[in-house]
Amino acid sequence: MIRLENLRVGFSQGGGAQGGSAQGAGEERIVLNDFNLSVPKGQTVSLIGSNGAGKSTVLNAIAGSVPILGGAIFLGERECGGDPEWMRALTVGRVRQNPLAGTAGEMTILDNLALASRKGPRRLRFAVTSRIARNLADKVADLGMGLENRLRENVSKLSGGQRQALTLLMAVLAEPSVLLLDEHTAALDPANADLVSELTKRFVRQYSLTALVVTHDMGRALSEADRIVMMHAGEVVADVEGEEKDRMAVADLVALFRKARGSEYAEDRDLLR
C-alpha cells in the first residue's frame, strides 16, 4: 500500500526542505538518502529511533508537506511523489502531536467534522443538512466522550484529549487509505493517551487503514503495532514483526538498537515507559 523507493530528502541550513536538484554539499543536510520502505495494506507500523533519525521526515514526505530530492513514493499502485499536499490528503489522513493542530478552535465541533468529511473537490457545498448532522453526531458519539451533546460548541472549549480524539475522528471521516500518526499521544496525560490509542486501533480496523506511527514510547510501539521499524541517521537499522516482535520487551528493543548501531540508545526517556 505504501512503497518508498530510494527516497531522498534534504534540508537547507536555514531549516527549509530542498526541492528539485541537490545543491552544494555545504548548503543542505540530507536526512533521507536512498531510503526504502514497503508497508502492505492494513498493516500498522511503528517508526522508532533516536531524535533526528528521520522518522517524522518519512511521514512528511508521504503527506507531501516536504519536497523530495529523488526517489519515488507509491500509495497503492500510483506514484505520487510529485503530487501537491492537498491532492495526497484525499487518500492520506494525518494526526500530529499537538492536540490543537488538527482542529479549528473557533469553529464548532459540527463544522469541524463537516469540513473533514467533505475533503476534496467532489463536495463543494458547506451546508450541513439535518441528515448529515445526525450522521456526524452518531460518529462522534462513538468516541465515548459525550461530545455528541456539544456539537454546537466551539472546539476551543474542549480539553486536549477531547481535541485529539476529535482530530483522529476527523482524519478518518473522509475514508483515507493511509493514516499517518506523528507522536499523536505524546502530549496527552496517560488516561487520554490510552483512550486515543484504543480509538486509533479501532479506527484502523474499522476503516481498513494502513498506518505509520512515529513514537518514542517503545512499550506502545510493541503492543499496538504489527511491525517495528527502527531508524537511525535516516536509515532502517532494524525491522521486526510477527513472532519475533511478539516475544520482545522494551529492553530487547534497546539491545537491538545497540547491536545495530554499536552505540547506546539516545533517548533515555524511552526506557521509562
Convert the pLDDT of each residue in 99-120 to its tens digit.
899 999 999 999 999 888 876 5
Joined grid coordinates for residue 123:
463536495
The whole-angstrom separation of Cα 152 and Cα 144 is: 17
Query: Which residues does residue 47 pair with via DSSP β-bridges, in sequence order?
Result: 214, 229
**Out of 45-49, 130-134, 193-197, which region has the weakest mean confidence (pLDDT)?**
130-134
Looking at per-residue confidence, does 33 or 131 come out higher?
33
Work out the pLDDT band at 259, boundaries 50, 70, 90.
Answer: confident
The whole-angstrom separation of Cα 104 and Cα 268 is: 35
What pLDDT, on a 0 to 100 scale, did the predictor assign at position 19? Answer: 60
Q: Could you tell me the pTM of the whole model?
A: 0.88
Mean pLDDT (whole number) for 158-178:
94
Give yes or no for a contact between 176 and 209, defined as CB atoms under 8 angstroms apart.
yes
CA angle 3, 266, 57 (to 5 degrees): 30
Mean pLDDT of the chain: 87
Residue 262 has pLDDT above 80, yes or no: no
> What is the strand order of the sheet 235-241 is part of?
92-95, 178-182, 210-214, 44-49, 227-232, 235-241
CATH fold of the domain at 2-272: Rossmann fold (3.40.50)
What pLDDT, on a 0 to 100 scale, did the predictor assign at position 50? Answer: 84
What pLDDT, on a 0 to 100 scale, did the predictor assign at position 126? Answer: 55
